[in-house]
Amino acid sequence: MPDDRRPSRHTQAVWAGEQRAFQDRATQVPVVHSVSFGYDDVDDWRAVAVGEAEGHIYGRNTNPTVQVFEEKLRVLEGAEAATSFATGMAAISDTLLALLSPGDRVVSVKDTYGGTTRVLSHHLQRFGVNVTLCDTLDHAAIERAIDDGLSLLYLESPTSPTCKVLDLERLARRATASGAIVVVDNTFATPINQHPLELGADLVVHSATKYLGGHADALGGVLAGRAELVERVFRYREVDGAALHPEAAYLLLRGMKTLGLRVERQNASAMRIARHLREHPAVASVYYPGLEEHPNFDVAARQMPGGFGGMLAFELRGGFAAVERVLPRLRYAHRAANLGAVETVVAPPRTGSHVELTAAERAALGIPEALVRYSCGIEDVHDLIDDLDQALAEGDGAEPRMAD
């Protein structure tokens, strides 16, 4: 085996950023709560402050625990640099606010994460940034919008909740030819399944709250990519103050050790469940990039070498009443807004992520009223399928029993 073979991302998720000595020979990353870092020698202090020497000054800028988390993600995404944020939305809004100026134009799609859509369609416009949101599945329309001139192309794939897939390489190439910055939200795919920087993106953002942490117990966000761009966003984040807390950084680091195992399992389970539900009489349709009938299956198969992800959605027959009947019966699922956790999580977009839209607006996004978004956990897939089957069965059903 050649020495320069790149280690697997599964190995990097465990070791990246941690192949060094920590204080007192700790093998696990210390959680450094200290807000400030003291220097006896003012020349040393100055050298750190101006970036001539390694070190930390103040927790809003940098922190040793947070730095290890950034380094792990930087390595996993194969990026020049990475910086972190208090939440995924802080990563996304800081990136847009730091890189855009009045008169700039952003091209994106209608199916971005709800908070992102809000920043794009409302807040950026207040600062005189023009935003064009294209139909997510219309690549020709996105290319026309790119050709009209832009400063930044913002993409997300697969999307929530209907798992639409964008051809990242094709769109990144087109936008790069126009000199635009290309940003991709890689939250749903994770660095295990999809590598946007290799497909031509300049920057990758994540809500670390989801798969990276994986345990639904810490909020966080991260940006990775070209050093010059990450530095510009970092300089803004330093003063806007959306710093990742060291305790959250530790929980995210701990979660990321099992990222490869979790995502591998979730990929396999989502595929099994998607195939099972496709044949189920109570289910009208299934949305999963790994099904051959998915409108962009070919693109997904090419650009997601690790797997098709742990997120799927299905439409129940019988309208929203069926959703109201089936969801409470699930024994192995939280009914909650989160996703990407070790536990299975379900949510109906109609009363969850897309509750603020009208039925007509949801329909325009291709979101049926009886849709259920399903985030596969790491439970045994047979138990998940049995659970779905009993919940979908005809009749009133017994009260949900807590499982043994």
Ligand X SMILES: *Cc1c(COP(=O)(O)O)cnc(C)c1O
Give the pair of three-digit tokens for residue 180.
Answer: 């635009």
Quick one: 63 or 112, whose CB is closer to ligand X? 112
Label the pairing between strands 221-225 and 130-134.
Answer: unpaired
Minimum distance between the CB of residue 51 and ligand X, rounded to whole angstroms? 29
Quick one: 64 or 213, whose CB is closer to ligand X? 213
Alpha helices in 131-258 (DSSP H): 139-147, 168-177, 190-193, 227-240, 246-256
The reply on whether position 65 binds ligand X by CB under 6 A is no
Catalytic residue among 105, 164, 210, 262: 210
The Cα-based distances of 192 to 147, 339, 357, 399 in angstroms read: 32, 16, 33, 39
Give the pair of three-digit tokens for residue 10.
Answer: 């599964």
Minimum distance between the CB of residue 85 and ligand X, rounded to whole angstroms? 8
Among 9, 74, 164, 210, binds ligand X (CB under 6 A): 210
Q: Which stretch binds ligand X (CB under 6 A): 86-94, 166-174, 296-304, 379-387?
A: 86-94
Sign of CA dihedral 273, 275, 280, 282: positive
374 in catalytic set: no
Catalytic residue among 94, 104, 185, 387: 185
The reply on whether position 288 binds ligand X by CB under 6 A is no
Q: Write the CB contacts of 110 (distance below 8 Å, at least 6 apart in sequence).
A: 117, 133, 134, 135, 136, 365
Quick one: 221 or 377, whose CB is closer to ligand X? 221
Give the pair of three-digit tokens for residue 252.
Answer: 């995210």
CB atoms within 10 A of CB 235: 13
257 in catalytic set: no
Q: Which residue has 């809004």 as its token pair?
A: 93
Give the pair of three-digit tokens for residue 322.
Answer: 């069926």
The reply on whether position 89 binds ligand X by CB under 6 A is yes
Among 67, 157, 162, 187, binds ligand X (CB under 6 A): 187
Residue whose Cβ sits closest to ligand X: 88
- Footprint (CB under 6 A) of ligand X, residues 295-314: none
25 in catalytic set: no
Q: Name the residues that contact ligand X, by CB under 6 A.
A: 87-89, 113, 115, 156, 160, 185, 187-188, 207, 209-210, 219, 221
Catalytic residue numbers? 60, 113, 185, 210
